[in-house]
Amino acid sequence: MNDCIFCKIAAGEVKSEIVYQDDRVCAFKDLNPQAPVHILIIPKTHLEGINSASPSDESLLGHMLIVGRELARKNGIDSTGYRILTNSGKDAGQVVNHLHFHLLGGQRLKPI
């Protein structure tokens, strides 16, 4: 999608602090972190959100979670605890209409 900021980050057109990428996903530090570790994990292909995912995206979604787990380990929060979440739609707080998982940790998080 031409005007999607996350597509532009994944394509290298917009600078971001990328911490991981492979042929399917890109992960980068959130510009407005809500925890000491706050990384966004996005698919390189444009999906507006979890509601846009189809059964054919099952492998991609699982891969995104495994990448999140590995980034938690690399950031030293795997043993203390972390959260991986996604927002779906405006009422949930989704600001960018490109599927993304938030990896949060590095401090005690409030229960939700």
Q: Which of 38, 63, 98, 100 does the annotation list as catalytic?
A: 100
* Tokens read off for 94: 């989704």
Where do runs of H (alpha helix) occur along the chain?
5-10, 58-74
The question of whether 102 is a catalytic residue gets the answer no
- Euclidean distance between CA atoms 60 and 43, whole angstroms: 8
Pairing of strands 82-85, 25-29: unpaired
Catalytic site positions? 100
